[in-house]
Amino acid sequence: MMGIEWLKPGIIVGSVLFALIGVAIFWICFVIVDKLTPYDLWGEIVEKKNVALAIVVGSMCIAIGLIVAAAVHG
């Protein structure tokens, strides 16, 4: 049975720090991919209702998230 070791302040601060680092890396990767595409992703998905592009971008977000999580987790 797991005790309350995970409630120590150092562990909580470390978890929050790694979560923030992971979100920052994810956001930077998404901005880079957005800049590499020849059109505005947000305008194409939201304004023009491009479902196929939304699926591709969603898949890319999942892939980047998995990579970042694996990198942070070690």
Could you give the 3-state DSSP secondary structure of residue 1? coil
Per-residue pLDDT at 29: 85
CA distance 70 to 72: 6
CA distance 26 to 66: 10
CA distance 69 to 47: 31
What average pLDDT does the structure give for the chain?
85
Domain boundaries, the chain: 20-73
Per-residue pLDDT at 3: 67
Higher-confidence residue: 55 or 41? 55
